[in-house]
Amino acid sequence: MAREETRPITDLGTLKALTHPLRMRLYRLLYVARTATASQLADQVDEAVSLVSYHLRKLAEHGLIEEADRQGGDGRERWWRPTSHGVSIRDKDFRDAPERAAAHLAATRLFHDQRAEMYRRYLDERATWSAEWNAAAPDSESLVRLTAAELEELGAELMALLRRYEEKSRSAEAAGDTAGRENVALHVYGFPFRV
């Protein structure tokens, strides 16, 4: 089955399935690995394989992941992969009812907490990364005055740029160019504020 580019999540059930903290970690790890077994993921999250298998099945029930072709090893183990190249969860799709809006807010807070934890871990481990990697890692803040339409346009341009780099990376890896490549997280937030 061909994978979707980015899967929009608009239903409450799928949002709630992804909003479980362990499931979101598993989804993120599976996205990075592209394929993995419950045993492999259990080692990374320090949880029992049976618990990880349960949560993987829940993600699969909502179409977020699917069984992948076996990669060798134990023929009894299931291999999993994401069904898309990421998900998008937009505020506008959850504003129509208080329960949906509350679920969207809870999901957004969880995702941001996990992203902040990823960045804190990088800062704690920064000394273990080379000077080249530390110099390459951007850390900036921009405060600009925009209209809502301009902010939306800026976000779309940033996502298009990111997709180009992701495709370039996937193509290079498919051609065997893996030297010097590491997993990189790029978190972009744009939001209005008042002082």
pLDDT at 45: 96
Distance CA 169, CA 159 (A): 15
Between these two residues, 71 and 9, which has the higher pLDDT value? 9
Q: What's the pLDDT score for residue 74?
A: 64
Q: How many C-beta neighbours within 10 Å does residue 94 have?
A: 22
The predicted structure's pLDDT at residue 5:
81
Angle (deg, nearest 10), helices 49-61 and 38-45: 110
Dihedral sign, Cα of residue 94, residue 100, residue 103, residue 105: positive
Helical residues (DSSP H) of 34-147, grouped into ranges: 38-45, 49-61, 98-125, 131-136
pTM: 0.85
Instruction: State the pLDDT at residue 67.
Output: 94
Q: pLDDT tens across 15-61, in order? A: 999 999 999 999 999 999 999 999 999 999 999 999 999 999 999 99
Pick 48 or 77 by higher pLDDT.
48
Specify the pLDDT at position 104.
95
Are the C-beta atoms of 36 and 43 separated by less than 8 Å?
no
Confidence grade of residue 4 (pLDDT, cut at 50, 70, 90): low
Note the pLDDT of residue 121. Answer: 95
Interval 162-184: pLDDT, tens: 989 999 998 999 999 999 999 99
User: Cβ-count burial of 59 within 10 angstroms (0-12 exposed, 13-18 middle, 19+ buried)?
Assistant: buried
| Whole-number pLDDT of residue 73 | 65
Number of Cβ within a 10 Å radius of residue 86 = 16
Position 1 pLDDT exceeds 50: no
Read off the pLDDT of residues 97-143 as tens digits, 9 standing for 90 and up: 999 999 999 999 999 999 999 999 999 999 999 999 999 999 999 99
**Strand 87-88 to strand 7-8: parallel, antiparallel, or no bridges (unpaired)?**
parallel
Mean pLDDT on 65-81: 84
Both structure tokens of 31: 């996205």
